[in-house]
Amino acid sequence: MKLLYLVIGDIRFQIKYGFYFLYAVFSVLYIIILVLLPQNTIKTATALLIFTDPSVFGLIFMGSIVQFEITEKTFDSLCIAPIRPVDYLFGKLISLSLLSWIVGMLVGLIAGDIPNLFWFSVAIIAGSMIFSAVGMIFAFRTDTLNKFFLSIVPIMIFGMIPGVLHLFDILPWWMIFHPGVAIVEMLISGSQAIVALIITLLWMVLAFWVALSTVRNRFGREEGDNR
Amino acid sequence: MKAILTSFRMLLKQLSKDGMLIVLMFVPILAGFFFRFGIPYLEGIITQAMAQTSVLSDYYLLFDLFLATITPYMFCFAVTMTMLDEYDKHIIGHLTITPLTKNGYIISRLGISTIISFLVSLLVVTFFSLTEWTLGKLICVCFLTSVLCIGVAMFIFTKSRNKVEGIAVAKLSGIVMLGLIVPFFLSGNVQFLFGLFPTFWIARLTIETDILSYVMVITVSVAWIMGVKIGFDRKMAQ
């Protein structure tokens, strides 16, 4: 129940600070782009757009959300409230993944080419969860937004470029172990989608584990300060 | 002038504390290397894999335009985030009642940064462009992209109440960059739907050097800056 309240609270926050408006604008833009593209490129373009934006936007926005909560002392209040670090983490991950999924489905269903609805949905949610969890890790380890952006640059480069290259089918088979490649494999409903799902789940567990221990540390430190 | 330089030194100190200064110094060069050598390398791999004669090489001029825009855009983003931070902490209000004045603050943050980013983007495009550029076209495009980024910085600062909104507005303002792509992918009159974007005319200027593009790029850029300036002045006065 607490988790549900946290998710609702985070969604309200995201609406208030324009995330939903922003992605309404971008959804329209992506739909226009896909409508204008030649028919034979739509499948690749849909996967490219969804992978490079809705799937990973949590990585970029997590820093600003967390640092804003720290500056506004919201985080201090949450630390003394009866919520667990795991609720805090999943409140953020679920709310951001929901927005990613809505945007991905809107764009994909209206103008894109979705080979398989199940794999497409799983890929967006899994991608968003992993990248948002990584965003959470770096958000708590940096104290200014500029530092946060610097810290996520390598993640963006090494996390996304292999995924994009996989769309052109130019990577060796073993690159499926890369999380970005595995997510793209599911987005396009490739022949190795089941393997990709298992690999993505393993990456998710790793990302959640590191993110949770980072949040736990921070909760512990704030509780200590508040005492 | 002394106050402006002191205020600019303050900005540099803040940026170097964040590690952003090093990024601003090296990323344009790294991006240049990637565009100059990485893109042709990728072109080789992609054309071979797709059994085509050219895929990316048709758009080398577009990559050059992105290269000319990256440097001022990065400078404007870093400076805007610092300005939003200063606004949140009420530092701007204090600075503008010192001998620095409001205009001095704006010059120390946006003016000097724009001049530096203009010079850096001139150098980056000169050394790393994939296509041939005449000196006139080079100066013109780099000047226009730098001016455009002042407008973007003012827009982000004006429309954001805090850093969270700053990131959202920065992303939204990235739509302006879409204008660079349009002349390369859309033909006929439909492309003029993007005529309100200065970037559309900047890109068109590099493809077709006609008088219409020159007139429009100046008109649209001035209109953008003037439009954004009203809200910017209002926020600075708060």
Instruction: Please give the DSSP secondary-structure letter assigned to residue A168.
Output: T
Yes or no: say if A13 and A65 are a contact pair by the CB < 8 Å rule.
yes
**Cβ <8 Å between B20 and A71:** no
**What stretches of chain A adopt beta strand conformation (E)?**
none
Q: Decide if A20 touches B, using CB distance below 8 A.
A: no
The candidate with the shortest Cα–Cα distance to B231, out of B144, B164, B169, is: B169
Which chain B residues contact residue A36 at CB under 8 A? Answer: 185-186
Burial of A56 (C-beta count, 10 Å sphere; 0-12/13-18/19+): buried
As a whole number, the mean pLDDT across chain A is 88
Which chain B residues contact residue A64 at CB under 8 A? Answer: 163-164, 166-167
Q: In the predicted model, is pLDDT for residue A151 greater than 70?
A: yes
Q: Closest partner residue to B167 among A36, A61, A168, by Cβ?
A: A61
- What local confidence, expressed as pLDDT, does residue A133 receive? 95
Q: Decide if A191 touches B, using CB distance below 8 A.
A: no
HSE-up of B140 (CA within 13 Å, CB side)?
A: 18
- What local confidence, expressed as pLDDT, does residue A225 receive? 59
Which chain A residues contact residue B171 at CB under 8 A? Answer: 22, 26, 60
- What local confidence, expressed as pLDDT, does residue A219 receive? 84
3-state secondary structure B202-233: HHHHHHCCCHHHHHHHHHHHHHHHHHHHHHHH
Yes or no: say if A10 and A95 are a contact pair by the CB < 8 Å rule.
yes
**Domain spans of chain B?**
2-237
Q: Is the ipTM of this complex over 0.85?
A: no
Confidence of residue A179 (pLDDT cuts 50, 70, 90): very high
- For chain A, the residue count is 227
Instruction: Please give the DSSP secondary-structure letter assigned to residue B174.
Output: G
Residue bearing tokens 């805007």: B80
Chains A–B, number of C-beta pairs less than 8 Å apart: 62
- N-to-C CA span, chain A: 27
- Per-residue pLDDT of chain B in tens (238 residues, 90 and over written 9): 788 888 888 888 877 877 777 777 788 888 888 889 988 988 888 888 777 888 788 889 999 999 998 888 888 888 888 888 788 777 877 887 888 888 888 888 888 988 998 999 999 999 999 998 889 889 999 999 998 888 889 999 898 887 778 888 888 888 888 888 888 887 778 888 888 888 999 999 888 877 888 888 888 888 988 888 888 888 887 7
Chain B residues contacting A via beta carbons under 8 Å: 15, 17-20, 23, 45-46, 49-50, 78, 81-82, 85, 88, 162-169, 171-172, 175, 178, 185-186
